Amino acid sequence: MSLLTEYHCHILPGIDDGSDSVKTSLQMAETMKKQGVQRICATPHFYAHREKSVTEYLKKRQAAFEQIQGQTAVTDIHLGAEIAIEHGISELPDIEKLAIQGTRIILLELPYRPYEKWMSEEIYNIAAEFKLKVMLAHVHRYLPYYSKEELETVLHCNAIYQINNEAFASWKEKRFAKKVMAEHTHFAFGSDAHNTSSRKPNWDLLQKKVKGPDIAVSDSMFEKYSI
């Protein structure tokens, strides 16, 4: 049975630019619960050039999770990461260990700069080498950076295209999101929430703007790519 699933959020305390405390994390989970979320994928940022290793990152992530474990309003939490696509990221030792727990889904974030061919090569290599399903984070955010042709290239990466709930508050981003949903069978929603104020969950907004069958498609991605 599919559950209303949050695929992308920064709810773990003190590990990145998301939640700054246990209190904030618990408030975020409470807000999500009230808005109907039943399963959370916690995806703190991972920047290869900033981390000593994947192993050390996993230790930090686990320590952050243990601060809130068993206290959150939504108890079904799966740890993952939002991995910045950098040169050579597909060759980083243990990169496959950053997939969302219990699934073959790995969340990747494209750079905020003009598209280059090597980005698609890194995406392909991670998927092929480790038999993972790539989820591309907040695809609508690249509208200011990529040409129409470059966006089409990105949308042919055989990925799950993740859309932030906030996109449906913007006419331009909503139009692009609707195009993605109409043309692709693999898409997923996430809040990319960092707190409960400036970057809040917005699941109430999503459910006002998006039809139930489309939300069901998003939720089904977890089971489709479960281990």
Q: Per-residue pLDDT tens for 166-207?
A: 999 999 999 999 999 999 999 999 999 999 999 999 999 999
Provide the 10 A C-beta neighbour count for residue 101.
14
The pLDDT assigned to 67 comes to 98
Q: What CA dihedral angle connects 70, 51, 140 and 106, to 10 degrees?
A: -60
- β-pair type (45-46, 5-9): unpaired
**pTM (2 d.p.):** 0.97
- Residue pLDDT, tens place only, 124-173: 999 999 999 999 999 999 999 999 999 999 999 999 999 999 999 999 99
The pLDDT assigned to 1 comes to 67
Closest CA to 144 of 104, 103, 176, 119: 176
Q: Spell out where 45-119 has E strands.
A: 45-46, 77-79, 82-84, 105-109
Q: What is the CATH number of domain 5-224?
A: 3.20.20.140
In what helix (H) or strand (E) does residue 104 lie, and over which residues does it extend?
Answer: none
Contact 90, 96 (CB under 8 A): no
Angstrom distances, CA of residue 85 to CA of 14, 106, 162, 204: 22, 12, 15, 30
Q: Spell out where 92-213 has E strands.
A: 105-109, 133-136, 160-164, 187-190
Q: pLDDT band at 2, cuts 50/70/90?
A: confident
- Tell me what the pLDDT averaged over the chain comes to: 97
What percent of the chain is modeled with pLDDT above 70? 100
